[in-house]
Structure 1
Amino acid sequence: MPATLPIDRDPILRAPRRRRLWWSLPLIGLIALTASLCLHASIGDYANSAQFVDGKFRNTTPKPANVPEPSAKVMWDFFFNKPKNTEPHAPVPVHTLTRAELDAAPDRSLYRLGHSTILLKLRGHWWLTDPVFSERASPVQWAGPKRFHAPPIAIDELPPIRGVLLSHDHYGHLDHAAIQALAGKVEVFLAPLGVGDRLAEWGVPKDKIRQFDWWQGADIAGLRLTFTPAQHFSGRGVRDGNRTLWGSWVIDDGQRRVFFSGDSGYFDGFAEIGRRFGPFDLTLMETGAYNVQWRYVHMQPEETVRAHQDLRGGWLLPIHNGTFDLSMHPWFEPFERVLALGDEHGIGIATPIMGERIDIDAPHAGERWWQSVVAESAAR
């Protein structure tokens, strides 16, 4: 059985939401002020990129007129009227990984460490996607979305990492503290245009950083890695929106192909990626933190499955869920919805416990581990 790690919640966060209102307003103001200071003036000029227009990156598909803008009410409800079930109220099961276990892992092993952080062993080397190990996905560590569970392994216990694949610079995908801790352990950071500039400013040696536009790639350690489009946005402060690029990754070891979605709304780019690089043995697809008001940049589960089909995917492993409270839906809902859709369309859905090994050659469905957490939460 996996180890169960307790959720150490601040007493303040247990307080009734109405009683929290009075001190939440200045807290939000402080977070916003901190974020506003996160503009990095050293981000380069990428005018040679077709995606870079008037000093900012843009999506290929304009936002449809019938897609609603996130309203003030949505933001108000997000901070002050969230349902109780947007986060678990019982411990989330985690398989605690050890260095010895990873050293003994066969090739084409995959471990989900949380949110969109995936550890893969391919051709004898270890790779990480969007490494986030901090307690909060936030510009500060004293407020903001807090982890439901601890990472299955600490950074200092990881084996040497051949490379880190980054999809974009939002806090749930680019963790300043994790990048600094990984800098000496990682051989190369593969980043979207502009995101590599952030890494350099954080102290990562420039000779370890490679930056990519859409459809660009590299051959490293027996892998063909290609940075592919997504429909999203970027920024870490209120003044640096879309100064850096966002995207997805195709990971090809010559025999198996894995797709890592990063964050994206549904768009015809998935079909184009499928035509160029598919079929995929496994897709790691954003399935969570969605809302109908931001479907242009985050997929609903039905769109996740459609994108998987466009990619000509085999197995689907839903990510971007189960670690942080980033929307208004029940925290377990993404799993239930995508599994129902998988049954409907005959798609294998892998839902491993955090830290559980998945064999890329032969994925397995995994347990419906969240159901016991929901049941225990209801019994408390």
Structure 2
Amino acid sequence: MVRHQAAVQDTSFNEAGDHFYDGRFHNEDAVPPNTLAAFFGVMKRYITERKVDAFPSEPLPINTLNQAQLLQLPDDALFVIRLGHSSILLKVYGEFWLIDPVFSERASPFSFLGPKRFHRSPIDLAELPPIDKVLISHNHYDHLDKTTIRWLSSRVKEFLVPLGVEQDFVRWGVSRQQIQSFDWWQELPIKQGLIAFTPARHFSGRGLSDGNRSLWGGWVIKTPHESLYFSGDSGYFSGFSEIGRKYGPFDLTMIETGAYDRDWPAIHMTPEQSVQAHIDLKGQLMMPVHNGTFDLAFHAWYDPLERVAQAADQRGVTLLTPIPGTPFNVRQPVASEPWWQALMPQKPAQP
């Protein structure tokens, strides 16, 4: 494996594959280009279109955690804890890892404006144990939180990021020696097994001028006893089958299921497509992520969970929908419950 160290300091990315050209990264399955007309069309919808049930009317259930509880989890197994949206805490045979950690109140460049959390994180930053690894899928604000990374910078052994994202980290004060950047299909052997960065169908950018100047993707985590897949953000594409052939089957897939819309079908999946992606990946258990924390689209907050539950039932897929903050062992998963249904508006009784 060729390991990209943080020594990458320019934007040429000569080590990147053929998906980098003209100064930007590109999808394997083409995505329609962003245009001003499309942008203003979406903005008009945000201004004029009435949203229904965009936010929960009551507090969401949360299992609050502290460091002592995490340290008490056995060191001879792998535990998964969904913190909300796409943020995941793992305990991997004694080591603590984070995936796409966002602890801020808003998924936004501003502290006073932008999508606000429906619920607080199940664990405060100050209660986290020492973190060995942080894995980042891409640099959008709901996956890469500057405030969180700055807080973690002196408390994390290493950050694993897509090509180009290391430049953000260095600007934020993270030491280059802590960062490893990855191209698609690059692998990192670790003492627990293997980590690999895999393609997705999406895009990147945190401002008006940096679109697709860093890479995006998902993560594969393989240990002697478990195989996990985290999708990051992605539209449905043929790459899921390729990942399944190369690294599957997976004991657990953590797949984007939320923030979909008719105006951006190429970069986010419908819940039905998310279930199909899980099947393509040869997954056993599916945990839908990217929902239930921020309002990022036009659908109701509970729509992703309700639709994915129906699609999974129709396709014979075993779904895991733990209450945020609930630790579970992949080999002994918790019983799932449709916790969101109790918070959905009640339909009028039929006459």
Give me the TM-score of the superposition, normalised by structure 2: 0.91
What residue in structure 1 maps to residue 14 of structure 2? 47
Alignment of 1:338-353 (within 5 A): 338-353=308-323
Letter in 2 for 1:323: T
SS in 2 for 1:164: strand
SS in 1 for 2:81: strand
- Measured in 1, the distance between the counterparts of 2:332 and 2:93 equals 16
Maintained 8 Å contact 1:90/1:374:
no
Unpaired stretches in structure 2, ≥5 consecutive residues: 1-8
Maintained 8 Å contact 2:87/2:102:
yes
What residue in structure 2 maps to residue 306 of structure 1? 276
Q: What is the Cα deviation at residue 220 of structure 1?
A: 2.5
Aligned residues: 334
Q: What is the Cα deviation at residue 82 of structure 1?
A: 3.7
What residue in structure 1 maps to residue 42 of structure 2? 74
- Measured in 2, the distance between the counterparts of 1:43 and 1:244 equals 12
Which is further off, 304-313 or 369-378?
369-378
What residue in structure 2 maps to residue 230 of structure 1? 200
What residue in structure 2 maps to residue 366 of structure 1? 336
- Measured in 1, the distance between the counterparts of 2:345 and 2:54 equals 15
Q: What is the Cα deviation at residue 229 of structure 1?
A: 0.3
What residue in structure 1 maps to residue 5 of structure 2? none
Alignment of 1:184-195 (within 5 A): 184-195=154-165
SS in 1 for 2:318: coil
The partner residue of 1:335 within 305, 321, 326 is 305
Alignment of 1:128-139 (within 5 A): 128-139=98-109
- Measured in 2, the distance between the counterparts of 1:230 and 1:326 equals 19
Alignment of 1:174-323 (within 5 A): 174-323=144-293
- Measured in 2, the distance between the counterparts of 1:78 and 1:146 equals 16
SS in 2 for 1:85: coil
Q: What is the Cα deviation at residue 80 of structure 1?
A: 4.4
Q: What is the Cα deviation at residue 149 of structure 1?
A: 0.3
What residue in structure 2 maps to residue 155 of structure 1? 125
Q: What is the Cα deviation at residue 150 of structure 1?
A: 0.3
Q: What is the Cα deviation at residue 374 of structure 1?
A: 2.2
What residue in structure 2 maps to residue 86 of structure 1? 54
Maintained 8 Å contact 2:52/2:299:
no
What residue in structure 2 maps to residue 10 of structure 1? none
Q: 1:257 to 1:235 in 2, by over 3 A?
A: same
The partner residue of 1:63 within 6, 9, 31 is 31
The partner residue of 1:112 within 82, 86, 94 is 82
- Measured in 2, the distance between the counterparts of 1:256 and 1:70 equals 42
Q: What is the Cα deviation at residue 248 of structure 1?
A: 0.4
Q: What is the Cα deviation at residue 221 of structure 1?
A: 3.4
Q: Deviations over 1:129-158 (max 9, x none)?
A: 001000000010100000000000111110
Q: 1:356 to 1:271 in 2, by over 3 A?
A: same
SS in 2 for 1:275: helix
Q: Deviations over 1:8-53 (max 9, x none)?
A: xxxxxxxxxxxxxxxxxxxxxxxxxxxxxxxxxx663213312211
Report the identity percentage: 48
- Measured in 1, the distance between the counterparts of 2:47 and 2:155 equals 37
Q: What is the Cα deviation at residue 362 of structure 1?
A: 2.3
Root-mean-square deviation (CA), in Å? 1.8
Maintained 8 Å contact 1:235/1:242:
yes
Q: Deviations over 1:346-379 (max 9, x none)?
A: 111011111012221122342211122224999x
> Which structure has more helix as a fraction of its residues?
1
